[in-house]
Amino acid sequence: MEEYFASGHTACAGCGMPITVRHALNVLGKDVIVVNATSCLEIVSSAYPRSAWGVPYIHSLFENSGAIAAGAVASLRAQGNEHTKVVVFAGDGSTYDIGFGVLSGMLERNDDVLYICYDNEAYMNTGNQRSGSTPFGAATTTSPAGKVRHGKMQWKKPIAEIIAAHQIPYVATASIGYMADFENKVRKAKDMKGARFILALAPCVTGWNYDSAKTIEIAKLAVDTGLWMLYEIEDGKFKVSYKPQQFKPVADYLKMQARFKHLSEEQIKTIQEHMNKAWAEVKQ
């Protein structure tokens, strides 16, 4: 099989982001244009004069991928090209925070773009600062574990729900720990028209601070503990993709990562209750 994201990029050993990109591109094939927000992905894949990309690739800025993609697809269609897909790869900093206004515009216009956010839950390119995606309790360099405040004290922004509120044709969450599910979602979104959004959990070895051999295990555990819910919202209809028969304790996931090592048993309990409540509210 032809690969469109080549080895030789400079991502850290065990990084979840290139796994996300490589598998998505394997599904999408060669007739795509990739738009990339400034992120680790851009840095590890596009240091002039080298490139890891076997498909056309454009990086512009941190916060404008949604608009670059909107313009690119409008341009292709205006030139009579009805087949080439435009896909965005952006991190959570760009998606949840700095590029959110631009993304919201793209969604509201229902531009014919597949937007894939690889979510590693902090600004990893600048060295692990909190983002809107950083989960409750996680220590980052701008939400450090101190004597009074113990990591990020706010809950993660429910971005997939916010995006779904734009009434676009397809929203899904995924985890690289469940690769077949992720690939199926990319396959489904590929041939749909309009704005499609996939949020893929992609662990970061250095930011989350764990053994680099455990990336897939952690990504799987996020789902198995119920902290990362796999679902689709297709034409407004919500459907859980996979529910573990029995959830593992959230502590199993948290204790594998040094970003949570400062948490007290009480704080872990708070996270467990939050997770239980989220699932209790799900209409299945």
Partner 1 sequence: MKKTVEVSIAIAEAVKNCEPDVVACYPITPSTHIAETLAKFYADGELKSFIATESEFASISAICGASAAGGRAFSATSSQGLALMHEVVYAAAGMRLPIVMVVGNRALSAPLNIWCDQQDSVAERDSGWIQLYCESAQEGVDTAIQAFKIAESTMLPVMVCVDGFYLTHTVEQVEVPTVEEVRKFLPKFQPKVKLDPENPISMGEYATPEYYQGFREDVHRDQLAAKSRIVEVDKEFEQMFGRSHGGLAQGYRIEDADYVFAGMGSVIGNAKEVVDELRAKGKKVGVLKIRSLRPFPGEEVRKLLEGKKHVAIFEKSYSLGSFAPVYADVINSLYPLRKRPFVSSFIGGLGGKDVPTKTVHEVFKMIKKREPLEIWI
The residues of the shown chain that bind partner 1, judged by CB under 8 A, are: 30-33, 35, 42-43, 46-49, 51, 53-61, 63-64, 66-79, 84, 101-102, 104-105, 108-109
Shortest Cβ 209–partner 1 spacing (Å): 26
Contact present, 231 and 163 (Cβ < 8 Å):
no
Shortest Cβ 14–partner 1 spacing (Å): 23
Nearer to partner 1 by C-beta: 76 or 251? 76
Q: What is the residue whose two structure tokens read 């979510």?
A: 119
Q: Using alpha carbons only, how large is the chain's radius of gyration in Å?
A: 18
Shortest Cβ 106–partner 1 spacing (Å): 8
Listed residue (102, 134, 110, 104) closest to 37, CA to CA: 102
Contact present, 252 and 271 (Cβ < 8 Å):
no
Nearer to partner 1 by C-beta: 166 or 262? 166
Shortest Cβ 191–partner 1 spacing (Å): 16
Nearer to partner 1 by C-beta: 24 or 221? 24
Rounded to whole angstroms, the Cα distance separating 132 from 122 reads 8
Shortest Cβ 75–partner 1 spacing (Å): 3
Nearer to partner 1 by C-beta: 113 or 199? 113
Rounded to whole angstroms, the Cα distance separating 12 from 249 reads 29
Nearer to partner 1 by C-beta: 63 or 97? 63
Rounded to whole angstroms, the Cα distance separating 76 from 220 reads 38
As a residue count, the chain comes to 284
